[in-house]
Amino acid sequence: MEQLFEKWSGELCLKKNQLSANGSNRIYYRLEGESKSCIATINQDITENEAFFFFAEEMRKRGVNVPEVYAISDDRKIYMQQDLGNISIYTFLNSRESNGVDVSEDMRELYKKAIDQLVVMQNVCRDIDFSHSYPRPHFDRQAIQWDLNYFKYYFLRLFHIPFDEDLLEKDFSRFIDYLLDDDCTYFMFRDFQSRNIMLVDDELYFIDFQGARQGAPHYDLASLLYSSKSNVPEPMRKELLEYYIDRRTETYGAFNSESFRTKFYSYVLARIMQAMGAYGFRGVIEKKEHFVKSIPYAVENLGRIIEHIQLPIEIPHLKATWQAICNSPDFNPKKERLTVSIFSFSYRKGIPFDKSGNGGGYVFDCRALPNPGLIDKYKPLCGRDTEVIEFFEEHPETEVYLEQVRKIVGFSVESYLGRGYTRLMINFGCTGGRHRSVYCAEQIAKFVHKNYDCDVSLHHLEYSKL
């Protein structure tokens, strides 16, 4: 990497600092010599790199502000690109807001500038050869289905949101039909959001466009206005939607603006679902906590849309699934009461992930207790069945164990209530997740509910009848 820098710059590499990659598997460094600097990128996915190189060149040819690619390694896995600094629209507004500054006018001005360039970009890049796109040249049925599957498997399943797979797939199909019933031959940036728009000497530059493809113009505007943590006020979102329509009309002529408004919110929903899938995968599977912390904001956006927007298609099960997400207390960032989430689980499957983003709470190992699962008559039962409850009550060591747990849990609940905390997670694990862990989770849930003014959320992960 340093050799590539020196070959490009003609200078020795004097500084090398690794940069945050956010949700990407790419690795970034800022390399600095005596007078020159660049961003060095390492990515093992050569096909994705080739898409980036191609679009960087084609977009620059058309006057779009994207970083220049300075040098590429022989194996195409390392490249040097223009250093655009550290300030994005997101970091600029967030920093000022953290310092108590009203950023409303700054936000309005910057977003309008981004929209001005988006309108042009969508059109001047429309003739690009999208066969170079990664991983697919068009945002077509297959691409949308991938996003919806991402949502289904990495959000709904991971966070235990109930759904009927057959009914959901039928609604997915209707939803995709509706999205694609329009002109989908525009340039689609794919991840057009405030973190990917850099501020350089009062000019906007755009990064992370390697996923660009051909698609509907609604998608990028939806990405910009409804990015989870962008904090764009709802009235301003509506204002900026109208601003986009006006700018597009002024620049490229009249179009069916009413149809655009209606379909726009469907693309907002598509984008929110894609983001939720990403938050589940990056947050739960890859254990990157900041993605989990984005979930409540995405849920808030989802709730606002489904409350105020009526889609002109019949997708009852998908709508019910959205509502179930919004009704879940686990995703409410403004909830004032303490919620104690209690889980029973199997150690074979692993300790449950804390979807509140707080890093988890207690994990109690129930495997030291007598195991009714080893006795044939108890095997088909679980820790809520009368026979199993009587089994544990006949073994005094169970009560000794639970009394110690009550003291520990009670201490934390009292402390959390006193400090105004809103989340406490308590996990009980055993070998199969059906008997000992279920029984203990039930007993502690009753204890907390009876003795403390808080909400109790009980989840048994391994027994489908519960």
pLDDT digits (tens, 9 = 90+) for 176-204: 999 999 999 999 999 999 999 999 999 99
- Mean pLDDT value across residues 286-302: 88
Q: State the pLDDT confidence band at 336, using cuts at 50, 70 and 90.
A: low
Measure the CA–CA gap between 149 and 172, rounded to whole angstroms: 9
SS3 29: strand
**Which tokens sit at 148?**
């919806």
Measure the CA–CA gap between 303 and 322, rounded to whole angstroms: 8
Measured CA to CA in angstroms, residue 231 lies from 93, 123, 272, 288 at distances of: 10, 28, 14, 21
Helix extents (H) in 183-283? 218-225, 234-252, 257-280
**Which tokens sit at 63?**
């006057």
Measure the CA–CA gap between 299 and 283, rounded to whole angstroms: 15
Task: Write down the pLDDT at residue 464.
Answer: 52
Instruction: Single out the residue of 183, 359, 179, 172 nearest to residue 263, CA to CA.
Output: 179
Q: Is the pLDDT of residue 62 over 80?
A: yes
Task: Write down the pLDDT at residue 289.
Answer: 78
Paired strand residues for 426: 342, 362
pTM: 0.75
Every domain of the chain and the residues it spans:
2-81, 89-328, 339-460
Measure the CA–CA gap between 172 and 181, rounded to whole angstroms: 14
Task: Write down the pLDDT at residue 466.
Answer: 47
Using the Cα atoms of residue 275, residue 277, residue 283 and residue 288 in order, give the sign of their dihedral: negative
Q: Cis omega before residue 217 (within 30°)?
A: no
Tracing tokens 């998608």 back to the chain, one arrives at 219
Looking at the structure, give the CATH architecture of the domain made up of residues 2-81.
2-Layer Sandwich (3.30)
Q: Domain 89-328 - what CATH class?
A: alpha beta
- Give the contacts of 254 (CB within 8 A, at least 6 positions apart): none
Measure the CA–CA gap between 200 and 82, rounded to whole angstroms: 12
DSSP 405-416: HHHHHHHHHHHH
Instruction: Single out the residue of 342, 282, 315, 283 nearest to residue 466, CA to CA.
Output: 342
Q: Are 346 and 430 in contact (CB under 8 A)?
A: yes
Q: Are 354 and 419 in contact (CB under 8 A)?
A: no
Paired strand residues for 424: 340
Residue 394: exposure state from Cβ atoms within 10 A (0-12, 13-18, ≥19): exposed
Paired strand residues for 41: 28, 79
**Which tokens sit at 152?**
């289904």
Dmax over Cα atoms in the chain, in whole Å? 81
287/209: higher pLDDT: 209
Measure the CA–CA gap between 280 and 267, rounded to whole angstroms: 20
Q: Is the pLDDT of residue 274 over 90?
A: yes
Measured CA to CA in angstroms, residue 78 lies from 26, 75, 225 at distances of: 10, 8, 33
Q: Is the pLDDT of residue 335 over 60?
A: no
Count of C-beta atoms within a 10 Å radius of residue 106: 15
pLDDT digits (tens, 9 = 90+) for 11-54: 999 999 999 877 678 999 999 999 999 999 999 999 999 999 99
Instruction: Single out the residue of 461, 444, 458, 435 nearest to residue 373, CA to CA.
Output: 435
- Mean pLDDT value across residues 222-227: 96
